[in-house]
Amino acid sequence: MSGNSIGRIYRVTTFGESHGRGVGVVIDGVTPGIPISREDIQKQLDRRKPGQSELTTQRKESDTVEILSGIFEGRTTGTPMALLLYNTDQDSSAYDHIRRAYRPGHADFTYQSKYGIRDYRGSGRASGRETAGRVAAGAVAMKILAMSDIEIKAYTLRAGGIECRIRDMEVIEQNPMRACDPEAAQKMAGRIEEMKTAGDSVGGIVECRIQGVPAGLGEPVFDKMEAELGRAMLSIGAVRGIEFGAGFSIADMTGSESNDPLRPDGFSSNNSGGIIGGISTGQEILFRIAVKPTASISKEQHSIDADGRPIQIRTEGRHDPCICPRIVPVVEAMSAMVVLDLIKRQAALHS
């Protein structure tokens, strides 16, 4: 109700602020009897954690996960899994200057407006660190989905104005941009280094493909599969848009162009992104999200303080010049949760 949970049956609740005791997640609705190890979860968290390359923030964060409950002798019990990551080594003094000041592009002003109080240190609850809980919950979902041969793959399609020309799924984890085109990845890296030096940041586009989803998932009319995925993606801090299949370009098509013909051996195109009428078609699910440039930049910007007086502000410290590579595992995690939840809902409907 207050927005810290997602999913109806596979229900994920995150908690924690970036400079409090820790961040974590409680997962309810976990299928019982599934073998899951701490390493299965840690592996995904390591893909999200800061400091992976020159292109991401150099902050040291302890992303070591502790399983508090829900596992017995290496298998899920069907009771809630609580996963905790303690916060360590935070230097909160770096945030003293925003105690009573609002950074442009950050949630400082809006959190203050909403709650009348905010933990300003490291952006508090609005910190990207909150997504660690999501990635952990997604890792558990992936283990369950793997049993149905469902595979999820996200990657940077565009960053700093540079777009991938090929979509090579094999190279994604081999470049720090998590891009699907190694050549483009290198250009992106160059552009980002440049912006970093200038004290600025860049945005990009992340694409995601989900394979192996059977036809029939999604709950019309309000919980259409694109509505559920859309909501999940738009709940990630930096995401400003989402489009499925042909996306916004469909606006300029005609019906005879956009309709995907059916043939005895399947659909012959996928403008729909694998979803028609809110229900999966059995094709690949395909969507793209718009990622805004990191709000934390060291260039001076105009803003106001808590009394409404004009100030100049610059964000000190180590921040991601481009968040795309670290959003990739978050997008995969959110996708896994949504698909698993819809599988469970479909089973419930037919029971």
**Least distance to its own copies, CB of residue 258, Å:** 5
- How many chain residues interact with its own copies (CB under 8 A)? 155
For position 29 contacting its own copies by CB under 8 A, the verdict is yes
The whole-angstrom separation of Cα 333 and Cα 123 is 22
Nearest residue (CB) to its own copies, 95 versus 170: 95
First and final C-alpha spacing in the chain: 27
Q: Which is nearer to its own copies, 69 or 186 (CB)?
A: 69
20 binds its own copies (CB under 8 A): yes
Which residue, 170 or 261, has its beta carbon nearer to its own copies? Answer: 261
Shortest Cβ 301–its own copies spacing (Å): 6
- Nearest to its own copies of 89, 170 (CB atom): 89
Q: How many CB atoms lie within 10 A of CB 269?
A: 13
Using the minimum distance from each CB to its own copies, give the nearer residue, 51 or 277.
277
Concatenated DSSP letters of 24-77: EEEEESPPTT-B--HHHHHHHHHHHSS-SSTTS---------EE-SSEETTEE-
Among positions 228, 286, 325, 336, the unique one binding its own copies when judged by CB under 8 A: 228
**219 forms part of the interface with its own copies (CB under 8 A):** yes
Rounded Cα gap, residues 132 and 85, in angstroms? 8
Question: Which parts of 77-106 interact with its own copies (CB under 8 A)?
Answer: 77-82, 84, 102, 104-106
Candidates 37, 58, 88, 235; binder of its own copies (CB under 8 A) is 235
Rounded alpha-carbon distances, angstroms, from residue 254 to 4, 106, 259, 271: 41, 40, 9, 12
Interatomic CA distance for residues 56 and 278, integer angstroms? 36
For its own copies, which is the closer residue by CB, 57 or 294? 294
In this chain, which of 37, 43, 54, 75 binds its own copies, going by CB under 8 A?
A: 75
Please state the closest distance from residue 273 (CB atom) to its own copies, in A. Answer: 7
Q: What would you measure as the largest C-alpha separation in the chain, in angstroms?
A: 67
Identify which of residues 124 and 138 has a Cβ nearer to its own copies in the complex. 124
Could you tell me the two tokens for 295?
């709000």
**221 preceded by a cis bond (ω within 30 of 0):** yes
Q: Which helix (H) or strand (E) holds 23?
A: strand 22-28
User: Within 248-307, which residues bind its own copies (CB under 8 A)?
Assistant: 248, 250-264, 268, 271-273, 275-282, 290-297, 299, 301-304
129 forms part of the interface with its own copies (CB under 8 A): no
Element holding 131 (H helix, E strand)? helix 131-146
Give the footprint of its own copies on residues 310-349 (CB under 8 A). 310, 343-349
Residue among 162, 156, 203 nearest 180 (CA): 156
Closest CA to 327 of 301, 288, 299, 297: 288
Q: Minimum CB separation from its own copies for residue 164, in Å?
A: 13
